[in-house]
A and B are shown apart, each in its own frame.
Chain A
């Protein structure tokens, strides 16, 4: 019988991989032929020629080269489908704003008012790159499945589900007047914590302990962050980098801080609770004191690397704009505070959340262990 079972599961794996492969091929075919689904006109470049090359030096002695490229393209959708279009494109060697285009690239364009008897002209809006994005998404899914098998699958699902929850919560927030963003995100955080932790470690006592610890840790961190911002009247925070927002940046920032630290806090909570439950499973008579000291040791071990993870996840994204400020001769202090103040605040607040979740996770787990002891 076990052989039969094994064969059955082998078949299940084969069938699911086949389905996955079909989904991969199907979706790739789709994005390569989805032009008619876009409202903006899409042009495929068939010919490029380099018309001009100018070396420039800006006011800060940075040297770059401006290229002017003439592009001949064919429209792939819309009223002018199949017609040729002529586009002038400018880019720099550094590629800081526009990239160089080559034959085969597809671009979203606005078509200029057509003149009778003349070739269409237009301006570039953006590049069509959904094919590469989808391809990368599949690489991600396959790598996680191959390395992580079931856990990899759950990680992909968890990413997807959490993205949907956040997106839905934002929809509700935007389409409902008089609703607080923080409230919506708070509800989303509770949902995401429960779902993600159940996905990561299943229906066990240790998971429930981790859920409680995560929620306590996250909301304590939020409380501290809000209190500090209120006490210091947000001195040192520069919201300029959120200038593109059509809403007050403060609330968006605090909501982002809450969501951003959630993953790290969950990680700490689940590490502490599963290792303490592991100790209890091995030795049912282990004392609370021993559990506490082991938990603290584990906490000390993970504290440094966990705060580092958050720090780099946040701060690395500012490298391009830091470069921009530095190369425009902005004073060091000004460049740092303009670009880093929000990211550092997030990283610091997240770090505080990580550290505080260690004792919180410890006591919550001990509470759950003791509850189990009484039952047994």
Chain B
């Protein structure tokens, strides 16, 4: 039996037993997101398609699945959705600038070794692709934080409807700050785990500190880690602001 199939089965069974209906929905959401990702990459092969625009569309679809399908369509998930998309778009411009500056696009020597039979004359703008990789790897964490901040803010407002927008904003920041450490860690360790092989290679081949710092593949990893960290921090004030604005301006929290 295929290892992937068996792991998928185990994941499905444990999600169903522990999560019930919501567990099944979460599993289906993973599957949908996988399909969205593959289709996005397939469309990216067309050089006339703008990878940045495609990434934004993919992020919208992915956050829809994560927020609306696993949870449900309500004011909490809607504000989380708007915050996620706004953060993603803001971040995307910053990341596109950084990838251009750090020249991390495309492939490094280490990655190209096994791919010599391939044609690299692809005509697709790999600077934009590099930016899209970074944003896609943080979208899960950003959406998660958005809902984890907006949802308790609605609860706070429901219990204390007299709070001002500023007070609500500050309580959102407080909630977010408590989440920051573990969200950042989730991403950091995921990246560390993925990069372990490369670190071993660097150490095996006795790369000097300066060589590691300037090696394209290491640069790309560091840029990903740092941008992901910036992303999980930026979503906090953005979500806190949008949620407090929506709560006070439209008084949506009261009707629930």
Contacts and interface: CB of A to CB of B under 8 A. Distances in A.
A218 B43 CA distance: 37
A16 interface: no
Given A140-B226, A140-B230, A232-B6, A133 B121 contact: no
Interface in A45-77: 56-60, 62-66
Contacts of B41: 319, 322-323, 326
Interface residues of B, number: 120
A229 interface: yes
Nearest to B144: A305
B179 to A, nearest CB: 9
Contacts, number: 418
Contact of B121 (A56, A171, A299, A351): A56
Interface string A182-219: 00000000001000100110000000000000000000
Interface in B170-217: 173, 176-178, 180-201, 203-205, 208, 210-211, 213-216
Contacts of B15: 303, 307, 351, 355
A257 B192 CA distance: 10
A314 interface: yes
Given A63-B123, A64-B122, A312-B33, A256 B22 contact: no
A243 B116 CA distance: 13
Contacts of B121: 56-58, 62-64, 66, 92, 94
B19 A300 contact: yes
Contacts of B216: 126-127
Given A137-B226, A158-B185, A229 B10 contact: no
Interface in A136-159: 136-137, 139-140, 143-144, 147-152, 154-155, 158-159
Contacts of B200: 170, 174, 245, 247, 252
B250 to A, nearest CB: 25
A66 B119 CA distance: 13
Contacts of A154: 181
Contact of A266 (B33, B114, B185, B197): B185
B139 interface: yes
11 contacts: A140-B226, A151-B181, A152-B180, A159-B188, A266-B189, A300-B19, A303-B18, A305-B140, A305-B144, A319-B37, A324-B122
Interface of A: 34, 37-40, 56-60, 62-66, 92-97, 99, 108, 126-130, 132-133, 136-137, 139-140, 143-144, 147-152, 154-155, 158-159, 162-163, 166-167, 170-171, 174, 192, 196, 199-200, 224-225, 228-229, 231-232, 234-237, 240-247, 249, 252-253, 255-264, 266-267, 270-271, 296, 299-317, 319-328, 336, 341, 343-346, 348-352, 355-356, 358-359
